[in-house]
Amino acid sequence: MSRTILVADDDKDIIDLVKFNLIREGFTVLAAEDGWKALETIKKKRPDVVILDWMMPEVDGLEVCRHLKQDPDTERIPIIMLTAKSDTLDKVLGLEMGADDYLTKPFHVRELLARVRALLRRSEGPHREEQQRILTFKDIRIDLNTYEVTVDGKKVELTSREIKLLSFLIRHPGRVYTREELLDYVWGNESFVEPRTVDVHISRLRSLIEPDKEKPRYLLTVRSIGYKFADNE
């Protein structure tokens, strides 16, 4: 199913450039040339990602971002902020207002597309299942209300990050994820996190939940790709 992206910018050339490349990648694209139109379109169409220029007439991008994140109906829509402002304080301000990512003009279209895809990957899986607070698989039990993990009835001490990683994988048995995808889903916007970090966390999880770490039954390596949790079967 085609994902819908809204591009809001008062520069028509930028809208045309971004729109052309998004459509070529298979996305449905909406456009707005000022903040009010952006808000109106977002509330009516509910796009999957918003690409939002900081400096726009009527209502600027920062204010649009604030409105969206304060509204329960739109607070989960990922936002990429586009801006000519390169100062670190400006970036921090945008992120504090709720922006999920930040790109400084001039930007490379390929980088923008990569960031759109990363936000879509992060937003698509976990939210649909967030109400499922107790997860089980054979002798593994995760209680997300208390953040307790037991294996064969015995409590296992895991960090919050390890629980988040294990929970994500156990919710998607048999689905193969690359290290980069796991970083997107589990680590989110954290800076300076290397793909190798995933390997370290998987190794520690295996030592704590697998009967035999060297012959894992649950956390499986898929050669040259990444990791998956064992199939239900």
pLDDT digits (tens, 9 = 90+) for 81-91: 888 765 555 66
Supply the pLDDT for residue 122: 78
Please, which residues bridge with residue 83 across strands?
Answer: 104
The more confident residue out of 93 and 33 is 33
CATH number of this structure's domain 4-124, picked from the four choices 3.40.50.2300, 2.40.50.100, 3.30.413.10, 3.20.20.140: 3.40.50.2300
pLDDT above 60 for 233:
no
Q: Considering the entire predicted model, what is its pTM?
A: 0.54
Supply the pLDDT for residue 131: 44
pLDDT above 80 for 49:
yes
Average pLDDT rounded to a whole number, residues 198-212:
94
- Dihedral angle computed from the Cα positions of residues 89, 78, 121 and 73, in that order, rounded to the nearest 10 degrees: 150
H or E segment at 155? strand 154-156
**CATH number at 131-229:** 1.10.10.10
Supply the pLDDT for residue 190: 60
* Alpha-helix runs per DSSP H in 25-85: 35-45, 61-70
- Residue range(s) of every CATH 1.10.10.10 domain in the chain: 131-229
The amino acid at 115: R
Supply the pLDDT for residue 155: 94
Supply the pLDDT for residue 89: 59
Strands 134-137 and 101-104: unpaired
Supply the pLDDT for residue 129: 47
The more confident residue out of 61 and 233 is 61
At 130, the pLDDT band (50, 70, 90 cuts) reads very low
Q: What are the pLDDT digits (tens) for 149-196?
A: 999 889 999 998 999 999 989 988 888 999 988 988 888 766 567 888
3-class state of residue 181 by DSSP: helix
Report the C-alpha gap between 209 and 226 in whole angstroms: 19
Supply the pLDDT for residue 185: 83
H or E segment at 140? strand 140-143
Average pLDDT rounded to a whole number, residues 125-136:
60
Average pLDDT rounded to a whole number, residues 110-126:
82
Report the C-alpha gap between 27 and 21 in whole angstroms: 9
The more confident residue out of 17 and 100 is 17
Please, which residues bridge with residue 101 across strands?
Answer: 80
Percent of the chain with pLDDT over 90: 47
